[in-house]
Amino acid sequence: MTRPDLHDRILAQRQQRVALARQRTRRTVNRRDGVRVEVEGRWLTEFSSNDYLGLAQQFEVTNALQDAAAREGTGAGASHLVSGHHAAHDGLERDIADWLGYPRALLFGSGFLANLAVQQALLEDGDVCVQDRLNHASLLDATRLAGAKLRRYPHLDPEGALRQLKLQPDGAAMLATDGVFSMDGDTAPLRALSLVARMQQALFFVDDAHGVGVRGPEGRGSVAEARMGVADVPLQLVTLGKALGGYGAVVVGEETLIQHLAETARPYIYTTALPPALAAATRVAVKHARRDQWRREKLQSLVDRFRSGAQRAGLQLMASESPIQPVLCGSDGNALALAAALDSAGYLVPAIRPPTVPDGKARLRVTLSALHSPQDVDGLVDTLARSWDAVQRVHGAVA
């Protein structure tokens, strides 16, 4: 027997990525000051962060982190079920459950872990999870790792979800969707999907990583914006690293479901709890996200300003009213050239290429923050328009 050599395999895969200009590189941020970041000795205006409300460096949030670290240290010391569940964790779970109007919440180390935990704890062999085709990778991978059948429906298509569920009449079923989609910035038809789930006796699970803090009354997210609650969406995921500016995730839901996760979910049981200081800081961020309506109002005004300016400039946008504003470029080469031109002009907006997005749909993923000024947005739009004209002359128009 001759086994494949892993070094040969990864070398061939690397050569293929280079040939397609799809290799990934990291750029180190040396310093950050609001929406300004220092990268490789140059200060750039960043339009690529998920810090939508500008809370990551808010002074009360960072003070809470420092104060709690001075008292509690840098780590939790153990997993939640051993001795790592601190008062700050408990308080954060209660605060988020109260904010979103759910009976109970459970804290996880990341959104990826939380999505895996939900599906591994609830689904078994023979069960099915039906998902939007553009769901986040963590939802899709979680189904595969849980051992359940993964079935995908066309983007934003409740009838497609219904067809997939009808094709799988045996076993338990879950219907899972992003609330706001991370690459397109559009919103799932939650009310229609909830009806499909109810008709097919499927548990409806919404990952609202990019909606909570930004959408709905008091920033309660896409579910609240759709005038829905725990009766319609029994489980919902909230990440702490987007609008709340921190790190980690929380699953909110029915009491019995959350208790089951706490007792059986491997990504919860077998990992060290988040640092208590980080939980303490996030509690302050939740307070601001809930109270500071001006942040959402300013953010939405910037979104509207960007869209109107970009449309006047002839840039190709997508149907997004969220802070995620994709600028379609077509080919990978177009996207890379446009990102490089923006970088030279002082803007950080990385190119997004396959396999993160479909072939022929390479883009710049512009993200807006309440910390941006109208002048920041106008400058970006002007630079985008000029740079796009130059890219088209060299590389060709968008596909």
Please spell the DSSP secondary structure of 324-387, one letter per residue.
EEEEEEESHHHHHHHHHHHHHTTEE--EE-TTSS-TT-EEEEEE--TT--HHHHHHHHHHHHHH
Enumerate the known binding-site residues.
24, 111-112, 136, 182, 210, 239, 356
Lowest mean pLDDT among 14-18, 87-91, 183-187: 14-18
Instruction: Provide the mean pLDDT of the chain.
Output: 95
CA distance 392 to 192: 40
Amino acid letter, residue 225 = E
Q: Are 216 and 359 in contact (CB under 8 A)?
A: no
The DSSP bridge partners found for residue 33 are 36
Using the predicted structure, report yes or no on whether residue 343 has a pLDDT greater than 80: yes
- pTM for this one? 0.94
CA distance 214 to 295: 9
Domain ranges of the chain: 27-53+293-395, 60-291
Enumerate the known binding-site residues for pyridoxal 5'-phosphate.
111-112, 182, 210, 239
Using the predicted structure, report yes or no on whether residue 399 has a pLDDT greater than 70: no
CATH for 60-291? 3.40.640.10
Enumerate the known binding-site residues for substrate.
24, 136, 356
Q: Which residues of 265-304 are buried (b: 16+ CB within 10 A; e: fewer)?
A: bebbbebebbbbbbbbbbbbbbbbbbebeebbebbbebbe
Instruction: Put the strands of the sheet holding 362-367 in their side by side order.
Output: 324-330, 362-367, 351-352
**C-beta atoms surrounding 3 within 10 Å:** 5
Looking at residue 24, what is its pLDDT?
83
Using the predicted structure, report yes or no on whether residue 130 has a pLDDT greater than 60: yes
Place of tokens 């109208």: 374
132 CB-contact burial (10 Å; exposed 0-12 / middle 13-18 / buried 19+): buried
Amino acid letter, residue 147 = G
Q: Specify the CATH class of 27-53+293-395 in words.
A: alpha beta
**Per-residue pLDDT tens over the stretch 264-309:** 999 999 999 999 999 999 999 999 999 999 999 999 999 999 999 9
Q: Are 80 and 273 in contact (CB under 8 A)?
A: yes
Q: How confident is the model at residue 327 (pLDDT cuts 50, 70, 90)?
A: very high
What is the β-pairing status of strands 149-153 and 324-330? Answer: unpaired
Angle at 219 between CA 216 and CA 223, to 5 degrees: 45
CA distance 253 to 230: 6
CA distance 296 to 218: 9
